[in-house]
Structure 1
């Protein structure tokens, strides 16, 4: 047995690790069944939640709420003037115009992207830096892919698809953040990935519901990494997210399980939708500039 495999076995089977993994899941379950306690920088999203959920809210009202958060305001202006949202090159310089151009889902996307980038920088997250940065890269690419797929391969709302793509793995980010609070897990970061594989979707769905994400988007994130036949044509948001997830190096979760060979279904998917990858790469680059 190699040192690496011994380390992996210890990560999976060590009694102390088992205890802390169970404790973390138990603590998360309690938290998600009551009032979710977010890191402080979730406050911006929580404050915006009611405003963004109100269908009667005016653009002026949304702009007033967003203006309280300078970082979100700056990100929205940057995004509104990006090529993806401003192909004619008409620059906007005020929040009201930016929000009118982007739409409510893009406001949610910008707010949540800030939360996710702040999670990467949270105290204790350095121990999980490899996983968190891979997750962030994957999330950005999935969001870009979802927007492109919705525009070109379906008649679905591309802004809603982009938001769903960005947050489809939010449960994994949240689990990593919670793992920083347990010493044994910080010292054995490889151990945490086994929990993520098994639990990030169900925890993510509960978390997204807790922060007021629309049910249709939450449902679209479920089973996103379950390998299945390639949808053709793409009929709903869940299928958009599945294809986007897989095009955006979507076997990320598959590789986390130490499976080196991609399933045959992914070959079929790439043959059908792989021509979109250059456009996805270009949009992902723009999104990095807007959200980072």
Structure 2
């Protein structure tokens, strides 16, 4: 079996829904399902989050971040954090925990390094996506945050399978983009219950088709991906944009420009990134 055969085998398993997750992922998925219940209101959500110390700490931290604390009033309780954030932002925090847990049982140092870099990249893209959606594309920022968190989940799952399929560590970076990401990604995202609109936005990012200025969720993710200071370890920068060029992307938005918007939003991006890296 070579690398492409390994990708195909993992993709076929994912397509059938035969995914193997660590036990902690399954537990967190149940929490995600509870939060997805339309009858789950703020008090119930707060009780669910309080039962997980890590999520409790993250919810308070993100509620006090520059992106969500417009008034500057600090809060110290999970209940108040839930009231400020709303259930949808909590769903993104739970999604972030799920993505990180997928590779939590990997022990190989080289794989761990890739997983850690992939999460750094993911956290940057998620934080940038939230701000770009709110300030540039005028899309729902919570949907963009969630999509940014989920956009590399196929890569995390692929790396977690390296124990069973060591061949995935051989070959060229383009192999993943051309033969692994989309096929495996669809199965993993479907198994995790990602809404169709978000799945379509992530698929648009995978295909790499963009509009400038950006308009769609896929455009938002692509721009965030290009602006992220930490690249994904799974593939090289796309041919239509150099790593150096990504730092100089600019275009007019209303009376301003992308450059000025990102400068004004730098603290929001930094604060969101910091919470996701907790």
Among candidates 149, 152, 156, match of residue 139 of structure 2 = 156
> Secondary structure of the residue that 2:91 maps to in structure 1?
helix
Q: CA deviation at 1:237?
A: 2.1
String of CA shifts for 1:194-223, please: whole Å, max 9, x gaps.
Answer: 543232233223212211222211111113
Q: Which residue of 1 aligns with 2:69?
A: 86
Distance in 1 (CA, whole Å) between partners of 2:64 and 2:130 is 17
Q: Which residue of 2 aligns with 1:242?
A: 222
Distance in 2 (CA, whole Å) between partners of 1:175 and 1:255 is 10
Q: Which residue of 1 aligns with 2:78?
A: 95
Q: How does 1:1-292 map to 2 (within 5 A)?
A: 18=2, 21-23=4-6, 25-119=8-102, 121-185=104-168, 189-191=169-171, 193-198=173-178, 199-232=180-213, 234-248=214-228, 252=231, 256-257=235-236, 262=241, 270-272=249-251, 273-279=258-264, 281-291=266-276, 292=278
CA RMSD after TM alignment: 3.2
Larger helix proportion of the pair: 1
Q: Which residue of 1 aligns with 2:255?
A: none
Q: Which residue of 2 aligns with 1:6?
A: none
Which has the bigger relative contact order, CA under 8 A and spacing at least 6? 2
Distance in 1 (CA, whole Å) between partners of 2:21 and 2:264 is 35
How many pairs were matched up? 269
Q: CA deviation at 1:270?
A: 1.0
Structure 1 spans left out of the alignment, 5+ residues: 1-15
Distance in 2 (CA, whole Å) between partners of 1:278 and 1:129 is 33
Structure 2 spans left out of the alignment, 5+ residues: 252-257
Q: Which residue of 2 aligns with 1:9?
A: none
Q: Which residue of 2 aligns with 1:5?
A: none
String of CA shifts for 1:208-260, please: whole Å, max 9, x gaps.
Answer: 2211222211111113144445333x43322222222222259x469934878
Q: CA deviation at 1:45?
A: 2.8
String of CA shifts for 1:178-198, please: whole Å, max 9, x gaps.
Answer: 12333455xxx3438454323
Structure 1 outlier segments of 4+, above 6 Å: 258-261, 266-269
> Secondary structure of the residue that 2:67 maps to in structure 1?
coil
Distance in 1 (CA, whole Å) between partners of 2:64 and 2:74 is 6
Q: Give the TM-score normalised by structure 1.
A: 0.78
CA contact (8 A) 2:68 2:85 kept: yes
Distance in 2 (CA, whole Å) between partners of 1:280 and 1:179 is 38
CA contact (8 A) 2:121 2:232 kept: no
String of CA shifts for 1:55-88, please: whole Å, max 9, x gaps.
Answer: 2321112222223222212211111122221132
Q: CA deviation at 1:161?
A: 0.8
